Amino acid sequence: DIQMTQSPSSLSASVGDRVTITCRTSQGISRYLNWYQQKPGKAPKLLIYGVSSLQSGVPSRFSGSGSGTDFTLTISSLQPEDFATYYCQQTSNTPWTFGQGTNVEIK
């Protein structure tokens, strides 16, 4: 199975901050890397697919980058509605696996 190591596990940030979350995979996954946002009590929501493609309707302050085994989700200017847990996911091989999540909290 491909292991996903996401960091940090949590962070505190202020509105307007630039936030970066990283995801490292245990082997190369080409471009099969997705990012999801989950708010408490809600279903996950797709933000980024294929490393850097923005899902329709997602604000442009969200961006993804990376290659090989190292990937990044960046929120350029954190907004109040962005406080949530973020997960990376690989779909290169089954079983599809997720990072453990990053909880973004209000500072």
Among 2, 49, 62, 73, binds other proteins (CB under 8 A): 49
Return the sign of the alpha-carbon dihedral for residues 45, 79, 18, 52.
positive
Report if residue 101 touches other proteins, rule: CB under 8 A.
Answer: yes
Report if residue 7 touches other proteins, rule: CB under 8 A.
Answer: no
In angstroms, the CA 86 to CA 9 distance is 10
CB of 17 to other proteins, least distance (A): 24
In angstroms, the CA 70 to CA 25 distance is 7
Report if residue 11 touches other proteins, rule: CB under 8 A.
Answer: no
Among 14, 80, 95, 107, binds other proteins (CB under 8 A): 95
Q: Which stretch binds other proteins (CB under 8 A): 19-27, 33-41, 62-70, 73-81?
A: 33-41
DSSP secondary structure string for all residues of 36-98: EEE-TTS--EEEEETTTEEPTT--TTEEEEEETTEEEEEESS--GGG-SEEEEEE-SSSSPEE
Binding site for other proteins (CB under 8 A): 32, 34, 36, 38, 42-46, 49-50, 55, 87, 89, 91-92, 94-101
